[in-house]
Amino acid sequence: MGLKVYVSGQLVEKDEARISVFDRGLLYGDGVFEGLRAYGGTIFRCRQHVDRLFDSARAIALTIPLTEDKLTQAMYDTLEANGLSDAYLRVIVTRGVGSLGLDPFECRGPRLIIITDRIALYPPELYETGLEIITAATVRNAPNAVNPRIKSLNYLNNILAKIEGLQAGVIEAIMLNSHGMVAECTGDNIFIAAGGALATPPSHAGILAGITRDAVLGLARAAGIEARERDLTSFDLYAADECFLTGTAAELISVVKIDGRTIGDGKPGPLARRLLALLRAEAAGK
């Protein structure tokens, strides 16, 4: 039996899950989404993800057709229907079917989709050896244009930077903001370690403040590791003792080379390894 997808209140077979060609999510990227991860049947930091989804929807004047509690139950029902306990979930809310014009108020109503599946963003061996990444020429969208705290369906900015990375032979790329400061990577937040302390770009740098990023900041501080948000330059990355990325799908993965420069000793560092272990222990409920 194939995977089932939740589409506006119905669980349908993956091959039967469809939307209209007039759906504004397809036509204009008019919608929001959230990526979540389940471990042992429990969705990691579920309430924070759901809160962020509803915040994103409110920011674009989109009404989600379920309450937070009912949406959460729908996610668990979709996991159960697919027999999944360790899985990735993608929750998508589009503004729904409308016309070819830009007027969003012509839509018949929002459409809610929940996809569950297994995911491995990076090959397992890279968690042992670390990533090589580059800095993309594509600049992060300005926060005063579309606020990056809105997790919208329009990811073209990130995709263009991702293309640069892939064309350079790496699978992730750093994005700078319009002031030349480090923002984030195409799909993950970024941290450095220097002198035993952690630093990560602040929200005003133009980042999506990730749930896993927040979890790592909290775990580090609880473990007595200095961790703060501050502006970072490319020099800070190159001169760091360690560098790592965080994200729902990625969890926490080390970076060992940036723009051809070796970071630290060129291996995943002790802080990254410690924090990955703490993150996985929390996810496992230990």
pLDDT tens track for 122-140: 889 999 999 999 999 999 9
pLDDT bin (cut points 50, 70, 90) of residue 193 is: very high
Asked if the model's pLDDT at residue 33 lies above 90, the reply is: yes
Asked whether the predicted pLDDT for residue 216 surpasses 90, the reply is yes
Beta-bridge partner residues of 114: 6, 91
Tens digit of each residue's pLDDT (9 = 90 or more) over 141-168: 988 888 989 999 999 999 999 999 999 9
On whether the pTM is more than 0.85, the answer is yes
- 191: closest CA among 122, 104, 276? 276
CA–CA separation, 94 and 173 (whole Å): 28
Distance of CA 61 to the CA centre of its chain: 22
> Is 84:17 a contact under the CB 8 Å cutoff?
no
What mean pLDDT do residues 51-80 have? 97
pLDDT at 286 over 90: no
Q: How crowded is residue 209: how many other Cβ atoms within 10 Å of its Cβ?
A: 17
Dist. CA 261–CA 259, nearest whole Å: 6
pLDDT exceeds 80 at position 67: yes
Strand 261-262 versus strand 251-258 pairing type: antiparallel
Task: Calculate Rg over the CA atoms of the chain.
Answer: 19
pLDDT at 1: 60
271 membership: H or E segment, kind and range: helix 270-283
Is 90 exceeded by the pLDDT of residue 285? no
**Contact (CB, 8 A) for 89 and 36:** yes
CA 28: distance to chain centroid?
A: 21
Task: Provide the residue type at 37 as one letter.
Answer: R
pLDDT at 204 over 80: yes
Domain(s) labelled CATH 3.30.470.10 in the chain stretch across 4-117
pLDDT, averaged across the chain: 95
Q: Where in the chain is the domain with CATH 3.20.10.10?
A: 126-283
State in words which class domain 4-117 has.
alpha beta
First to last CA, the chain: 33
Single-letter amino acid code for the residue at 193: A
Give the integer Cα–Cα distance in Å for 200 and 5: 36
pLDDT digits (tens, 9 = 90+) for 71-112: 999 999 999 999 999 999 999 999 999 989 999 988 889 999
Question: Coil, helix or strand for 245?
Answer: strand
The two tokens of residue 145 are 């244009």
The pLDDT assigned to 174 comes to: 98
What CATH code would you report for 126-283? 3.20.10.10
Active site residues: 151
Provide the pLDDT confidence category of residue 119 given band limits of 50, 70 and 90.
Answer: confident
Coil, strand, or helix at residue 222? helix
State the amino acid at position 268 in one-letter form: P
- The answer, yes or no, to whether residue 41 has pLDDT greater than 90, is yes
